Structure 1
Amino acid sequence: MLTAGQSRALSELTAVVVATNSRITMGTPEEEDRAGIAPILVPITVDCTGTPIGENGVDLGSSREFELWVPADFPFMHPEVRTAHRDFAGLPHVTWTNVICLYLSNNEWDPSHGMRGFLRRLLTWLSRAAAGTLVSVELPWHPPVGAFRSSERPVVVRADLTPDLESDRGFWTAWARLSIQHETYMDVVEWSREPTGPLSVPVVGLSQPVGFLFPWSSRDLRRQLVRAGLNIAAYIEMLSRSVAINGANVSPLLLIGSPAPPGHESGTRFASIQAWDVGERGTRAHWLQVFDQRPSRTRRRDRSRPVNWLAGKRILLLGCGALGAPIAEHCVRAGAAMLLLVDNGSVNPGILIRQPYRGCDIGRRKAEAMADRLRDVADFAPAIFADSGDAIRVKADDLTNFDLVLDATASRAVAQRLERLRREVSAPPPMIAVMVGHDCEHAIATVALTASSGGGVDLLRRLSIRERDDRLTSLREDLYPSLPRTEPFLPEPGCSDPTFVGSAADLGGLAARLLNASVEFLSTASNEDTPTAAAVVLRASLGEATYSHYWPNDVVRRDVNTGYEIRIARAALASMRTEAVRAAQLGRIPKETGGLLLGQIDTACDVVWIDQAMGPPPGSGTSPDGIRLEIGELPDRLASLARRTGGLRSFVGAWHSHPRADPLPSATDADTMGKIVNAEVDAPRAALLIVLGGAAGAWERWLDGTGMPEVHTQMYFPSGRSAEG
């Protein structure tokens, strides 16, 4: 009894016979006694009269007979076509001398095309066989295979041929050195003219292509190799040397390399490599499975994707948690040359819900458990190291050993530490910081290039105070809530650190998207016109597409005595220039002017951010000889601003100008700054004074918008302590 699929195949075949006006004719189907299990055989005859014959083509004669083997699961499995003769033996896509391989992979078969599509494919193959064009630059070439598989471990070819072997196009013998890093397979890591140590096996390099299939019998294989140029005595001597070198460590093997057929350029001496298990006795040749991973032959599946930027990079990853752990795996799979994992935490049962650790890792240090896991993921990239120390102890010198620093700790202290350290290195590596909000609604990545004036703390701050962007309103409340959260999420008894709500599916997807967007910015940032810093924001629950923010560098000055770095936003400097121009237009004699500075002073990072410069407050007085800033109303006027920005933007100091003069502070300046930092109520811990000046020519050019003034910075502290920069 035929299956429904086989009955359908016969019906479709009958329709094809009618449609082709008997160019294809069908014989009587034959079926075995195992109904519903075995395929059925359907003889067909194809009329080949008048088929053009090319220079290297096959004469098909007036007709050709074939056997179609239709599987029980047709159309979900494609039929197989065979010949009753060996006329096609040795042709491309012919195995076992009489089986025609019409599909390079099962995925090429489209069940919806049915028998009509299958026969169309057979007719195309016949026309190309007659024309001699089964192999060409335009058509895919199936390398020769060894059909029988040995029980020995498969072979993974990692190394390219040496230049002398690559350039030798004649028949030759050589040696390959194996490496057994894992019990399930062997690597080929070196090629040489002579054995270079243990696990060396002989190699035969053919000068002519072997066809589609290596011989299936050991005797035929030896005969073929002798016809190709192998000296039997030399061959036996090589096998004896291999056995003496390797002992019982590996079964006697012979690697055979074949060039590509004419008309197909492979780009390397060996278009195909097969491994013969010589130690397997019997009439059949036993072939090992070979995976060709030579750099010259393989094309990375991620080569056009953003993470390809990570290939060959040395990466420092801080934090192996919900974001850091999946990102670590992405880095290894992308081909990072070296990865150092830093995390002082341990694996506990609760984190298994969303972090890629195993039950057997409970109690282990995260960094060590993750390093072991990643070595199993990609043992060909063994430069994976674990550090179970605290990420806060990273030193400036450590940064110089890496091409990228990834901060996935979600720790403010670590972020501020990195912000300070990158100032101590002349050329800090690019830095990426990733984090999620308390309910996994927001995910953020900040990216600072080597030339960026700030790192993760700087960029997260810029993002949070960005105005005129309604999409960031909920983000600011998530990261910097105006009121403390009364119900912090504590996932299990004894957990002292509040964490966030989120699943493995949430974090896995967010980690991948953040990494992709970040390295895409890094890979395109070589252009001098591109920004030096960026932030990526994801809105998880809304499925909102990634949107990014970019910034130019601040104008940076440093107090050499205190170590404070003053970062002046270009918009703030432009506001000072606008006020200086206004003052200059009031009379022939340039007047001093000035105002208040808004931003943030971070005493951990030793950084002062200036986001906004205001003009003179009400009640201030300006004259050609100086300026007096009225600061009496400051606390009331600026307290609400600080509350609205979570303390990210508040009063940090004052500025004023010295037109056409040196920008040195006066006694009045010192008196004003002293009153600010020594006030009894709401006095800032420190305050900044900026004085702008310069010679007449330089000053006028700045007012015209074509230059920069001289900038003097000075920090003031309570009790009169000050330092100049």
Structure 2
Amino acid sequence: MSGRHDLTAWQAAFLADTRELSGRAERPIRLNERRHRNGRGDLVLVITIDTSGMITLPGGLALNQREGVAVHVPEDSSKPPAAVVGHDRFVGAPHVLYGRELCLYLDAAREWDPTGGATSFFNRLWDWLADAAAGRFSARDSLYHAIGGVPAGAEEAETLTLQDEVPDRSALLWGVRRTRVRVDVHNQPVDGAAPVVFVPAAAAFPYGVGDTIGDLLDRFALNHDSLLSVVPRVLHSAACRSAAENGLYLLLGVPHPAGGAKHVAAAWIDAAGAETLRSATASVRAIPLNWRRISDDRPAVATRRDVGTHASGFLGASITLYGCGAIGSWFAEFAARAGATRIVLADSALINRGLLVRQNYRESDVGRPKSNALADRLRAISDGLNVQQLTELDWAAATTAFTSADFIVDATANLAAAVSLQSLVQQFPSPDAVVAQIATDPSFGTHGLVTVRGTSDHRTLAEVDLEVGRIVVDDPTLEAYHGFWERATPADQITPVRGCSIPTFRGSAADEAAVAALATSTLGRHRGLQLTGTHLFALPAASADAAPARWIEPPSTSST
């Protein structure tokens, strides 16, 4: 290369650090002064690293005593340098991309710290080699084992969502555009759907999948895959369908080293490519493959991010919720995101603009019944959620809402509504339901209460609440919670609009969402339990004299 002035400041600093490290006798790296800039502007350094002291264990990567590595340093420090070997000995190993690039950072956004400079990078490279030799890598933990590299463009444009298991053989699936950037893949034809060609491969693609149909076919040939001759035929057949006039999708199913369901990659073939496929000319190999992101939600491969949390108690649950206000509206959303399969809502009150300060609604909801607006919001959150609205006259729905519920929740802060709810609980008993009340304090909305009646307890919530209230009010250390059982003073409340406006507590959306979130996690732990009592808790924003969280269990409680 022509000289130091061709380098960016970051590349020059990295090179200087590498030279300094290479000059130390105790360091295992040596810098070869041959270097260049590649077509992307990366500074490419060649280093040799002494691995003779590393221990190779069964299942580990066999290393030479000295490994040569090309280090590709980007023009700025926003992305970490890449480490690339010049041989094929690591092909197919965990955390190896395109057969030769070492995947040093599983999540570069969190793991790459440019302030550490070259020292941080080479320490990471050393740790990678040591872990590889010791067999500490797992196919389960690697992002791109089945396909040795990120398909070009996969981080851009559309996302294809995959919820159903893919077939074992080549097949035609269907892509339905859900939004501008989302396409849902279905196993059955749907009006307006674009064809999706699914092709299962017999082996992994450690060198990646390429950017053209020709590249992909070459990878099939490299794997001696019996489907090599099938791919062009199924693409031609799909392109000849009238629905393919605007292009088509290709799904590639690839065996995963961890076993189980195939890894799936998705590509888009545009209208010009589809036309070329129809004509089946020799230029088919040059057709670009525009790789798309996959949101793979198949149960066989996906693990919920909230697995093992307290809120996971709502997974698959049926919930009947009375009250869709400051606490109930947030609780319903959190339960929906936790995987509830049915939520029945009861609240006929209308939404006004003042409520938007702290309740889970939008400007476009003003004037609508709360249960109606919240139902629409919940349906938009989860396709797998059945949302119903309960009216006093809908007795058939009431029977189902109560007799088959896992949770029956009062979030009303309304005495008459609480009495009505209790009447329905008694009229339509559910032996497996946890009956609960969730509430915030009547002054500032920074304290929370969750009262639960266990599955085998026959007392009413009002009876449990009365017993707990006596205990709390008689305890001076719980004075911060006395307001749940004592009438609020006018000084503790506000009148939101002048004139005949109902006084209400002071509270922000942030605080009410936080109280509802804690109530959701707390209540989720009680699914199916016989435990009866009240959880009391305070937000960090509560007054300095707030009591710590407490569990109050009234006398004569059946518990597990």
TM-score by length of 1: 0.63
Say if 2:533 is the partner of 1:534.
yes
Partner SS, residue 335 of structure 1:
coil
Seen in structure 2, the aligned counterparts of structure 1 residues 463 and 230 have a Cα distance that, compared at 3 Å, is same
Code of the residue aligned with 2:118 in structure 1: it is M
C-alpha distance in 1 between matches for 2:404 and 2:375 = 19
Partner SS, residue 321 of structure 1:
coil
1:543-596, CA deviations, whole angstroms, 9 ceiling, x for partnerless residues? 6432111235579xxxxxxxxxxxxxxxxxxxxxxxxxxxxxxxxxxxxxxxxx
Shift of 1:251: 3.2
Quote the residue 1:142 is aligned against: 144
Say if 2:185 is the partner of 1:188.
yes
> Does the 8 A contact of 1:311 with 1:337 survive in 2?
yes
Quote the residue 1:9 is aligned against: 14
Seen in structure 2, the aligned counterparts of structure 1 residues 218 and 58 have a Cα distance that, compared at 3 Å, is farther
**Could you tell me which of 247, 264, 268 is aligned with 1:277?**
268
Q: Mind listing any 5+ residue stretches in structure 2 that lack a counterpart? A: 274-285
Quote the residue 2:364 is aligned against: 360
**Could you tell me which of 402, 405, 411 is aligned with 1:399?**
402
Shift of 1:91: 5.2
Q: Judge which range, 295-304 or 393-402, deviates more.
A: 393-402
1:443-501, CA deviations, whole angstroms, 9 ceiling, x for partnerless residues? 212111232222332222122222652244554455333x9748853212466432211
> Does the 8 A contact of 1:146 with 1:274 survive in 2?
no
Seen in structure 2, the aligned counterparts of structure 1 residues 236 and 431 have a Cα distance that, compared at 3 Å, is same
> Does the 8 A contact of 2:197 with 2:251 survive in 1?
yes
**Could you tell me which of 239, 243, 247 is aligned with 1:247?**
243
Quote the residue 2:201 is aligned against: 206
Code of the residue aligned with 1:278 in structure 2: it is I
Say if 2:414 is the partner of 1:411.
yes
1:607-649, CA deviations, whole angstroms, 9 ceiling, x for partnerless residues? xxxxxxxxxxxxxxxxxxxxxxxxxxxxxxxxxxxxxxxxxxx
Seen in structure 2, the aligned counterparts of structure 1 residues 494 and 189 have a Cα distance that, compared at 3 Å, is farther
Seen in structure 2, the aligned counterparts of structure 1 residues 361 and 77 have a Cα distance that, compared at 3 Å, is same
Seen in structure 2, the aligned counterparts of structure 1 residues 454 and 59 have a Cα distance that, compared at 3 Å, is closer
> Does the 8 A contact of 1:92 with 1:212 survive in 2?
no
Shift of 1:312: 0.6
C-alpha distance in 1 between matches for 2:34 and 2:392 = 73
Quote the residue 1:100 is aligned against: 102
Seen in structure 2, the aligned counterparts of structure 1 residues 500 and 17 have a Cα distance that, compared at 3 Å, is same
Say if 2:29 is the partner of 1:24.
yes
> Does the 8 A contact of 1:396 with 1:422 survive in 2?
no
**Could you tell me which of 72, 79, 83 is aligned with 1:69?**
72
Quote the residue 2:163 is aligned against: 158
Shift of 1:299: 1.5
1:54-97, CA deviations, whole angstroms, 9 ceiling, x for partnerless residues? 999988767554432334554x6422233567776665544455
Partner SS, residue 296 of structure 1:
coil
Say if 2:422 is the partner of 1:425.
no
Seen in structure 2, the aligned counterparts of structure 1 residues 392 and 55 have a Cα distance that, compared at 3 Å, is closer
Seen in structure 2, the aligned counterparts of structure 1 residues 237 and 471 have a Cα distance that, compared at 3 Å, is same
Shift of 1:334: 0.3
How does 1:601-616 map onto structure 2 within 5 Å? none
Say if 2:125 is the partner of 1:122.
yes
Code of the residue aligned with 2:301 in structure 1: it is R
1:515-564, CA deviations, whole angstroms, 9 ceiling, x for partnerless residues? 211222336x2xxxx53x21111234146432111235579xxxxxxxxx
Quote the residue 1:302 is aligned against: 306
Bigger-Rg structure (1/2): 1
C-alpha distance in 1 between matches for 2:371 and 2:500 = 20
C-alpha distance in 2 between matches for 1:16 and 1:29 = 17
Seen in structure 2, the aligned counterparts of structure 1 residues 30 and 492 have a Cα distance that, compared at 3 Å, is farther
C-alpha distance in 1 between matches for 2:455 and 2:164 = 34
C-alpha distance in 1 between matches for 2:152 and 2:99 = 15
**Could you tell me which of 256, 259, 283 is aligned with 1:260?**
256
Seen in structure 2, the aligned counterparts of structure 1 residues 269 and 469 have a Cα distance that, compared at 3 Å, is same
Quote the residue 1:173 is aligned against: 170
Code of the residue aligned with 1:26 in structure 2: it is L
C-alpha distance in 1 between matches for 2:502 and 2:226 = 72
Quote the residue 1:78 is aligned against: 80
Quote the residue 2:215 is aligned against: 220
Quote the residue 1:549 is aligned against: 552
Seen in structure 2, the aligned counterparts of structure 1 residues 279 and 87 have a Cα distance that, compared at 3 Å, is farther
Quote the residue 1:490 is aligned against: 495
Seen in structure 2, the aligned counterparts of structure 1 residues 117 and 139 have a Cα distance that, compared at 3 Å, is farther
Shift of 1:146: 4.7
Q: Judge which range, 394-403 or 152-161, deviates more.
A: 394-403
Shift of 1:364: 2.6
Partner SS, residue 297 of structure 1:
coil
Partner SS, residue 368 of structure 1:
helix
Partner SS, residue 506 of structure 2:
coil
Seen in structure 2, the aligned counterparts of structure 1 residues 469 and 356 have a Cα distance that, compared at 3 Å, is same
Seen in structure 2, the aligned counterparts of structure 1 residues 178 and 403 have a Cα distance that, compared at 3 Å, is farther
Shift of 1:327: 0.6
Q: How many residues align?
A: 525
C-alpha distance in 1 between matches for 2:101 and 2:348 = 60
TM-score by length of 2: 0.80
> Does the 8 A contact of 2:479 with 2:547 survive in 1?
no
> Does the 8 A contact of 2:322 with 2:421 survive in 1?
no
Quote the residue 2:322 is aligned against: 318
Partner SS, residue 201 of structure 1:
strand
Partner SS, residue 80 of structure 2:
coil
Quote the residue 1:229 is aligned against: 226
C-alpha distance in 1 between matches for 2:492 and 2:82 = 66
Quote the residue 2:278 is aligned against: none
C-alpha distance in 2 between matches for 1:323 and 1:426 = 25
Code of the residue aligned with 1:454 in structure 2: it is R
Q: Mind listing any 5+ residue stretches in structure 1 that lack a counterpart? A: 166-171, 556-725
Q: Judge which range, 462-471 or 297-306, deviates more.
A: 462-471
Shift of 1:223: 3.2
Quote the residue 2:48 is aligned against: 45
Partner SS, residue 211 of structure 2:
coil
How does 1:335-374 map onto structure 2 within 5 Å? 335-374=339-378
C-alpha distance in 2 between matches for 1:538 and 1:203 = 52
Quote the residue 1:721 is aligned against: none
1:394-426, CA deviations, whole angstroms, 9 ceiling, x for partnerless residues? 956641242222221111011112223322234
Shift of 1:339: 1.6
Structure with the bigger RCO (C-alpha within 8 Å, sep 6+) is: 2
> Does the 8 A contact of 1:317 with 1:339 survive in 2?
yes
C-alpha distance in 2 between matches for 1:32 and 1:321 = 61
Code of the residue aligned with 1:349 in structure 2: it is R
Shift of 1:247: 0.4
Partner SS, residue 228 of structure 1:
coil
Seen in structure 2, the aligned counterparts of structure 1 residues 283 and 92 have a Cα distance that, compared at 3 Å, is farther
RMSD: 4.0
> Does the 8 A contact of 1:51 with 1:127 survive in 2?
yes
Seen in structure 2, the aligned counterparts of structure 1 residues 47 and 468 have a Cα distance that, compared at 3 Å, is closer
